[in-house]
């Protein structure tokens, strides 16, 4: 038997559903939001299969299950489409591209460090600052130390007049931006996401939470109808169709 094709790309309907449920997703309390897991296309396909199977039984189940939330069952497929679309949005949303390339920013921070070390060395020679503090900055190595050295140098240089305050402010901003753009080792998934990227990931998880709630109702009704064989009609979200 040939497997039924699964959804591979967020559809236009998914975009419509995403906007339709945006307010409901954003209204979820933060403590109730479930983190996304699984393959989007498989989740969307399984929810559609399960919801359609249960809805086909509605004519004779409605009287037996007066407490069933049929509107929620009806919306399950739309929630799944919205969640799949939300996953794609989050996957493609990254922080706005910086105006300065990372390599150029690193070179600027490196130049700041060199200039500031010369000024600090002079101040240390006159006894105005502790030579050990200058030595600690001078011996720093590695990409992260580069930015941290500049921040430390700015603190030591403030008030001595060798470097203008505006130049120290600019250097401090450059070093901070540089450190923020360093990619942590072993970075995975949403770790470190900020701004629009973090907001997109959060909304994705909220859409997924709505999907989980709706599909739980689908499964509950399906379990009443099929008992231990419910998985044959209402597959788990991660089930692979054969």
Together in a domain, 86 and 199: yes
Query: Residue 102 — very low, low, confident or very high, per pLDDT cuts 50/70/90?
Result: confident
Together in a domain, 210 and 227: yes
Together in a domain, 83 and 202: yes
Rounded to two decimals, what is the model's pTM?
0.59
Together in a domain, 128 and 90: no
Q: Which range marks the domain in which residue 44 is found?
A: 12-94+193-232
For residue range 135-184, list pLDDT tens digits in order: 988 887 888 889 888 988 998 898 888 899 899 989 988 888 787 777 54
CA-to-CA separations, 124 to 21, 128, 133, 164, in angstroms, rounded: 63, 6, 9, 18
Together in a domain, 121 and 161: yes
Residue 204: closest CA among 40, 74, 50: 40
Q: Report the percentage of the chain scoring pLDDT > 90.
A: 47
Report yes or no on 2 lying in a domain.
Answer: no
Helix (H, G, I), strand (E, B) or coil at 52: helix
Together in a domain, 167 and 197: no
SS (H, E, C) 128-142: CCCHHHHHHHHCCCC
Together in a domain, 175 and 116: yes
Give the mean pLDDT of the chain.
Answer: 84
What is the per-residue pLDDT for 196?
79
CA distance 57 to 220: 13
SS (H, E, C) 64-130: CCCCCCHHHHHHHHHHHHHHHHHHHHHHHCCCCCCCCCHHHHHHHHHHHHHHHHHHHHHHHHCCCCC
What number of CA atoms fall less than 13 Å from residue 60's CA on the CB side? Answer: 5
Query: Residue 94 — very low, low, confident or very high, per pLDDT cuts 50/70/90?
Result: low
Together in a domain, 88 and 197: yes
Query: Residue 4 — very low, low, confident or very high, per pLDDT cuts 50/70/90?
Result: very low
Q: Picking from 1-5, 121-125, 182-186, which range would have the lowest pLDDT averaged per residue?
A: 1-5
Q: Between these two residues, 19 and 193, which has the higher pLDDT value?
A: 19
């Amino acid at each position: 038997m040939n497997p039924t094709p699964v959804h591979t790309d967020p559809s236009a309907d998914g975009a419509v559903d995403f906007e339709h449920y945006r307010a409901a997703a954003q209204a979820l309390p933060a403590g109730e939001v479930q983190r996304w897991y699984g393959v989007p296309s498989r989740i969307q396909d399984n929810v559609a299969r399960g919801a359609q199977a249960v809805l086909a039984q509605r004519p004779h189940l409605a009287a037996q299950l007066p407490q069933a939330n049929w509107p929620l069952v009806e919306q399950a497929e739309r929630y799944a489409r919205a969640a799949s679309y939300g996953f794609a949005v989050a996957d493609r949303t990254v922080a706005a591209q910086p105006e300065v390339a990372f390599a150029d920013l690193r070179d600027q921070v490196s130049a700041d460090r060199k200039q500031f070390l010369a000024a600090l060395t002079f101040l240390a020679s006159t006894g105005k600052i502790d030579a050990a503090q200058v030595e600690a900055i001078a011996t720093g190595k590695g990409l992260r130390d580069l930015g941290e050295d500049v921040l430390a140098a700015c603190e030591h240089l403030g008030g001595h007049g060798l470097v203008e305050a505006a130049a120290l402010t600019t250097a401090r901003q450059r070093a901070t931006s540089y450190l923020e753009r360093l990619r942590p080792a072993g970075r995975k998934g949403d770790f470190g996401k900020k701004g629009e990227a973090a907001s997109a990931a959060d909304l994705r998880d909220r859409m997924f939470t709505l999907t989980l709630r709706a599909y739980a109702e689908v499964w509950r009704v399906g379990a009443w109808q099929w008992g231990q064989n419910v998985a044959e009609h209402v597959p788990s979200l991660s089930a692979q169709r054969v």
